[in-house]
Structure 1
Amino acid sequence: MTITIKHNHEDGTLVYGTRKGDGVYEIIRLWENGGFKFFPSIRMLGLRNSRDQVADRYAISAAAKALRAAGYEVEVEIDDTFRDRAQVLADKADRLEDRRDALERKADRHAGAAAAAHDRAEQLSERFAGGQPILVGHHSERGARADQKRMHQAMSKSVRENDAAQSAAERANAVGSQMRRSATPAVTRRRIETAEAELRQIQKGLDGYERRHLDYGGNPRYIEDHAPAQGDYRERLLARKAQLDNQLEYDRAQLAAAIEAGEYVMWHKGNVHVGDMVTYWMRGRRRTVVKVNKVTVAVESGYSWPDKVKFTDILAVDCPHGEDGPAITTTNRPKKKGQARPKVEVPKMNMDELAAKIEAALPEVPRDSEAFFSPPAVVARILDAAGLEPGMVVLEPSAGAGAIAKAAAAAGCEVHCIKRYPQLSKDLLDVPGIVGLTTGDFLQAAPSHFPDRFDRVLMNPPFSRGQDIAHVVHALQFVKPGGRLVAVMGAGITFSQVKAAQDFRQLVEDWEGEIIPLPKDAFAAAGLSVLTVAVVIPC
């Protein structure tokens, strides 16, 4: 098995002839063995940032040596022929464009998954939309907890996918920003100066030099003699020198074009004078020049010492030394070229409303509470039968989550509530129109607990073991003459032969009331399959 480590400026340093699990990556990933990385996009091993760079012969040699020691046959191929600077930048722009497109697709993909998960959580939350609690010990508990778990999972996934979508969109919008800044005249000038300094160091290495170490008196303490570079090191220096020469040719042409177009001024010792006002990068500061140096100017700082500002950091100069007398202002803020690509945006999920619904699904009450919430369709039938008018005083003696009470308040009535489990709806008194809330068992309440009797009593009491009959009969005491009671009850009151049911049917008949059948699936949304009726009793 032959492993080939190849380097060229177009592809960088890559490893050929490997496959997953062959042990190569475990060896050359170590820092001392070259520090190679795995690139998922091309599914190959290689060195980071090696494209259009002189080969890192040290890392390549270390990897080859370690692989040979492990029994692999290794070949090394290095081609340090540089590419033209214009071609390098064009290829980089194409790669960045592909990266932006990939990130944009990724953002859309995650946004779609976030929306789907959000919709699923919203759908599951509808079971608890009316405030339906989990009845511990009831046959519905298992399904309710399963729905609750699925709802939490769907919301968690929606949050994760939404975060991933927003992150991908931000990364897509950031693609190319460094390259755009790198192309500005100010950065180009700094890159030219850095390249020129590196060329001087390279030339010293090629020619050889001596380094004199002086003592405190300025006398030579010892002299280091550096011979001209030889072998691979010399080849690397020559390759880098040729690459820098090409880069400098391109950058100098770009900078000259910007200067000719009036987009940039080369500030230097010849056109900045003592007394000029310079504006520089640090928060747009403007300071007076007190001294001009070779690379920097000294400006007033407001303290006993001046601040130093590099010529490359100057943004504008107000110069009173113009030939015609008036101040001359020039700037290094280049004009914007072209129009940027549209910003990548993905819809952001609003989790607050959904989180509130999920939080409402958390209360738990005992099974015998029979706290089934009143679905919107049932509430509408109750209000229709009640004939509410604005200003009426209404009692809801089995408030639960407060669906009936809130609807009555919305109709302009003054509503008082009695509820056994306060955790089912903690915001009832925050609802306009709900003016009173009593906590406790309604069967223990008495009309004397309230200032007056009520125009309407609207209720959805527990059904089992005749509880609905007991609650309705007790509630009749709270209705003022001429008022009306409307209650949701189990359909068993219409046919049961137990004495309590028979007596109740006779009561409804004597009070000229009526029993109205409700749809078979009236409470399906609450997880309850039971036949129900609406009982209307005028008083």
Structure 2
Amino acid sequence: MCDQGLLADEDVVTPHTATYSPEDNKLRLYTAFRLDRETYDRLRAAGFVSAPKQGCIVAPAWTPAREDLLLELCGDIGDEDTTLTERAEQRADRFEGYSDRRASEARQAKAAVDSIMEHIPLGQPILVGHHSERRARKDAERIEGGMRRAVKLWDTADYWTRRADGAIRAAKYKEMPAVRHRRIKTIEADQRRAEREKEEAAGWLKLWSAAELTLDQARAIAGRCWLTVEREAGKPYGTTAYDVLRDDPPRWTVEAVVEVAQRAYPAAIARAERWIAHCNHRLAYERAMLAAALGLDEATENAMASRWDLEPGGRALIAGEWLVILRVNKTGETASSVTTTPPRGVTWTSQWKHGIEKIKDYAAPTKADSDKVKETNKLPPLCNYPGEGFREMTKADWSARNQWSDFTYVHTLKATDTAGTHRVRQMPAGGWKAVQVYITDMPTKRPPAPPTKSSGTDIAFAALAVVKSRAVQLPPPRTEADDLRDVLKAGIHVVAVPHLFVTPDWLADEVIGDAMIRPGHLVLEPQAGTGALASRAADRGATVDCVEVNAALSAQLEAAGRYRRVIAADFLTLGAEPLYDRIVMNPPFDHGIDVDHVVQALNFLKPDGCLVAIMSAGVKFHTSARARTFRDRMEALKAEWSDLPAGTFAGTQVRTVAIRVWMDGKRR
């Protein structure tokens, strides 16, 4: 429905329909016929993406430009009929269908394995030289392959089951009051940004609209604002008013720049007003839904904050713990967060800030608790006393300190063994240092006495018990896939190494030579196999690391004792640490996985490192997106390609190539 193409039927007159959903802030276009290429490209450029399972084209978020485009195509934008939960249920139904199909295929694979295993007892070793050795080895490989396929299919079925559950959970999560409240705060921030943009645009428009602007005045205004007067290739923002006015004589007249400003800023104001109106509509919807979820009146300005009359000294239940509220922080007249005593186990701070949506319950303060909070929030006394190294000055000199306007002049000194907590005046003394000040013509005020254990001002509230239900976590029931995994671990006594093609000696020598390996280099061979490349790198005096996923082969490499490390893991799952001077590799080719291995290996190279890899020749001409992206990256790094002779690897006719890449893109 959403593919490019010409109109399928010129006689079709059914109009397209467009909808908007305030739940997810998305615009949707339901097409009545196949779109022409130009319209489809316009939608793609505006950020719309195809959603074939929903039967529509979706914009990830509302913008004025996207709304205008849908109004042009449809004439009107209606409300979305399906809710977020309904769409999540539809996705869950699709995922459950995928899960059922993979589970059915897994049972078929398991049945095929059972039919072969009838004549091979699990755990019985194969006798080398026995007349049935070849058949037994082949059957063992088929058993292992069938088991792995069945396990993978069951894992895939479990994956789609989890996706189905996740789709429902995600929809329900977005409807939670706390999540909706955080969304409201995000929308409010967007609204404030749009209001600032409108105010700034109105201010610049007023300056540019002043009567009889001189060239110097226009240059001064252009130097303070960003006004694009024309687009220019190679410049992301084009040519600005400052660019065209700064020359002598200027490239543009003042009148021409003013004309552009009088078009641009009203458009910016109109765009900001649309954003403000859109945010107002979303806020009204979200607040009404939040109030309904909490069982409050829809007219409530902020449903989350109005659930309780929060006061300092009260106790808030946050993350299963009762915390004492030290301060209620407000945006305007609405509580947005609370500052509390720190959670249990936090020792590096005496206060902790929580969003209002995190409060699960609230207990009003007692008089004793309120008095303790007031005492805690009260500022320490401001003291004035002389001392060694202090700077002495008069009150008039202290008042003339504006030359250090960015300095904090009043500093709080914590309690010591000789004095209690108090505040003092200070001035900068060079760098980050400060010196305390004594005002000579003001009364001397000494610091308070040090606190005693019984008279300390630290808050010590009686803890409120919170009973948490601790559900017993039972292990999940075993499945057929678990049984097959156990059999794979211990039942098949045959080492099968799929896609292993040992590098011929002559080719291994060429790879090592092309990599220019020298003594002292740190070298990596991923998917090392039998170590044909790693052993030659070690012969040249390099320090070598190997990665091999097959346990038997990795044990063989470890037993050789020639390498610094042998990592028994899938190379594609490793993190890029450490970095290597050289990487030499002969990765598996199956389904183009050699591309993934080479891309992963580039992450392990030093900035001046070199990689030499043997790859399938198909990477040079395959048209898949992965292959094209890989070729583009190799071209950017100035990689060197060389074709290898047919039949390089015995037992296969796959054509291969060798590629050499220097990470800095410089050829040696």
Higher-Rg structure is: 1
| Greater relative CO, 1 or 2 (CA 8 Å, sep 6+) | 1
Give the structure with the higher percent strand.
Answer: 1
